[in-house]
Amino acid sequence: MSKFKVGFVGWRGMVGSVLISRMVQENDFKNISSFFYTTSQVGEKCPFSFSDCDKLLDGYNLDELKKMDIILTCQGSDYTKKVYLDLRDSGWNGHWIDAASHLRMENDAIIILDPVNRDLIDSSFKQGIKTWVGGNCTVSLMLLAIHGLVKENLVEWVSSMTYQAASGAGANNMRELLGQMGYLYNSVSDLLHDKNSPILDIDEKVSESFEGKDFPKSYFGEALAGSVIPWIDSDLGNGQSKEEWKGPNETLKILNTNYEPFKVDGLCVRIGTMRCHSQAITIKLKKDLSEENVLQKISNGNDWVKLVPNDRENSIHNLSPTKASGKLDILVGRVRKLNLDNNMFSLFTVGDQLLWGAAEPLRRILSIITK
């Protein structure tokens, strides 16, 4: 059987680069014929020796795109808006795999998170669905963390308070975060070197630096280093951010009718970490379960959940963004029965926003389709 022709768009960006490197790691390219598209450097040499094209193809040229069995884009929603409908209208009936959010809530698109919704993916595939979209990173990471409880339909509601990394806002934001850190450090480095300098003098200078006219904030619009930004994505006008809206709505769509639905709500907050999103989750269960039982169910959720014992040492040293970065592990700790009401538990979870939060579900759906 001839191999599927897969066209990649947006492979140079952050999510795209993580995807390509995961695919190389897993030897995925041997199963497909790969073609690389660009929106800005048509005709330049393709940098990958495993590719089936020597030169970069035009990502806006529908005739070129139509030659593919599968298109996988990490280029962003603007690209999807510009190309997707025209390509479908032109009669192209291939699989479209998309990292961007634009098509997520469309009826004929499935939000992919195969460890959780493989049944939905398989039944949709049989029905002829050909549009597969990666979910919001926070939602995917949350569902993977509590998968063991979700699959037994034990969850009544979830409140997720997020601590989201700069990477979710983009590569430029990650650079800006480090620029802000450096700026703040430089503003007080003399005082820091003097062990006897009063800490309140240092603090005052740092506070002034936030207002400095060359303090870098063109992407975040505000300080993230040394601060937090308690709003992510657009303002829906009802006190809720778009990121917060995605929590319940994408969860419902991912779970579909294969699970009993449950309520999700919470606040989404940007913090000064690089690429791992954390969430402090409160769960109300439908049944009275012991802490031990809950721990066991969570750890049986999927192959990536890694339980961290709820003690001081482990929580400090093994349950942080620095420990999840670059890994597929979904760290889950601070699991404790709360004293607030019956059947309520806390947990704290951390996962890599670029891996399970973005690239990995795309890599896996490609492999599901091509196998």
Chain contacts with ligand HSE (rule: CB under 6 A): 136-137, 164, 168-169, 232-233, 243
Taking the least distance from each CB to ligand HSE, the nearer of 164 and 279 is 164
Residues in the chain: 371
Contacts of 289 (CB under 8 A, 6+ apart): 154, 297, 343
Helix (H, G, I), strand (E, B), or coil: what is residue 257?
helix
The tokens describing 262, both together, are 């449950």
The tokens describing 35, both together, are 């073609």
Taking the least distance from each CB to ligand HSE, the nearer of 164 and 310 is 164
Taking the least distance from each CB to ligand HSE, the nearer of 168 and 247 is 168
The tokens describing 43, both together, are 């005709």
Are the CB atoms for 37 and 58 separated by under 8 Å?
Answer: yes
The CB-of-180 to ligand HSE minimum distance in angstroms stands at 17
Taking the least distance from each CB to ligand HSE, the nearer of 136 and 325 is 136
Query: Of 74, 268, 276, 277, which is the active-site residue?
Result: 277
The CB-of-312 to ligand HSE minimum distance in angstroms stands at 29
Laid out side by side, the sheet with 32-38 consists of 57-58, 32-38, 4-9, 70-73, 95-98, 131-134, 110-112
Strand-pair partners of 278: 163, 350
The CB-of-129 to ligand HSE minimum distance in angstroms stands at 22
The CB-of-223 to ligand HSE minimum distance in angstroms stands at 17
The tokens describing 288, both together, are 């009275």
* Whether residue 46 lies in the annotated active site: no
The CB-of-6 to ligand HSE minimum distance in angstroms stands at 23
Please work out, in degrees rounded to the nearest 5, the angle formed at the alpha carbon of residue 185 by the alpha carbons of 179 and 190. Answer: 145
Q: In the bound complex, which residue of the shown chain has the CB atom lying closest to ligand HSE?
A: 168
Taking the least distance from each CB to ligand HSE, the nearer of 94 and 321 is 321
* Whether residue 277 lies in the annotated active site: yes
Query: Of 46, 137, 268, 276, which is the active-site residue?
Result: 137
Strand-pair partners of 158: 264, 283
Active-site positions read: 137, 277
